[in-house]
Amino acid sequence: MSAVDAPAAVERVGIVGGGIMGTGIAEVCARAGLGVVLVETDADRAEAARGRVEQSLDRAVRRGKLEAEAAAEALDGLQAVSDLGELADRQLVIEAVFEDRQAKLDVFARLADVVEDPEAILASNTSSIPIVELAAATNGRAEHVLGLHFFNPVPVLALVEIIPSLLTDAAVSERAWAFTADQLGKDPITAPDRAGFTVNALLIPYLLAAVRMFEQGLASAEDIDKGMVKGCAHPMGPLALADLIGLDTVLGVAETLYAEHREQLFAPPPLLQRLVAANLLGRKTGRGLYRYG
């Protein structure tokens, strides 16, 4: 693509959802010098989300990964608000609310009314929900909808899945690629619009198999994880990884995969369902397959 044909750079980004993924995406966008508006459900949650970004920037400075001046500039470029209407002038909005189909559909329906630029990209960070379903909720803006699936922790992991639907305009995919690769410095891949896309369609059955092995008493959690770290050179074992992702997210993706494919390898084990029902979700709640703190 020539310089004449190159997609216009994104300068104004909106993020909907201030959880782990939303704040991570907000941080990498702010560190790239973009103006970022992060929307949460109320003022207290918005303030807490901004605080999480500030803490992460501070850690990067302490570890020598970021200059203090750059961290200050990134934080200055971030607004955290509770009014979705603040996204009216955004060129790109990334939805990062919890992994619930109806919640995401509602966000996209509202974004279609709020975001004024008809060429703005409306993206989802969903782990598994088909993009075409979200696109259909936007009332005439489906060609500007795609998936931008980041990985946790966002400031550290380079991969972004770009997921166009059957309705996504090719130019929108090109703009999204340029944004992730050139502006954020990430490594994008194009993934199919199917449940789980590319990475989770491979990862989730692996995590579920580890949970089943532990549930059936065939090996301890520690031995399962040590086996994959020391024997297969994985940076983290599957059970520790499931706790890091969040067991509720793992369950939600598994349910979406099973609903679409009806293959037993995607069926959530009873132990995973019980842990989520008990709100033992992993690192974020202090207990999951392991205890923390």
- What tokens were used for 152? 């946790």
Tell me which residue has tokens 């400075």.
61
- β-strand partners of 146: 123, 164
| Contact (Cβ atoms closer than 8 angstroms) between residue 69 and residue 63 | no
Question: Is 11 tagged catalytic?
Answer: no
For strands 121-124 and 145-150, give the pairing: parallel
Question: Is 215 tagged catalytic?
Answer: no
Question: Is 149 tagged catalytic?
Answer: yes
Active-site pick, 27, 149, 165, 173: 149
Going from the C-alpha of 116 to that of each of 56, 104, 140, 227, 254, the distances in angstroms are 32, 19, 13, 52, 36
Question: Is 161 tagged catalytic?
Answer: yes
- What tokens were used for 82? 């509770």
| Contact (Cβ atoms closer than 8 angstroms) between residue 267 and residue 208 | yes
**Side-by-side strand order, sheet with 12-16:** 78-81, 35-39, 12-16, 92-95, 121-124, 145-150, 159-164, 187-190
Active-site pick, 40, 124, 161, 165: 161
Active-site pick, 127, 128, 165, 173: 127
150 vs 124: CA distance, rounded Å: 10
* Consecutive H or E run containing 183: none
Handedness of CA 72, 116, 7, 187 (dihedral sign): positive
CA 186 distance to own-chain centroid: 14
291 vs 293: CA distance, rounded Å: 7
Going from the C-alpha of 69 to that of each of 29, 34, 58, 177, 178, the distances in angstroms are 16, 15, 11, 28, 26
Q: Which residues are catalytic?
A: 127, 149, 161, 200
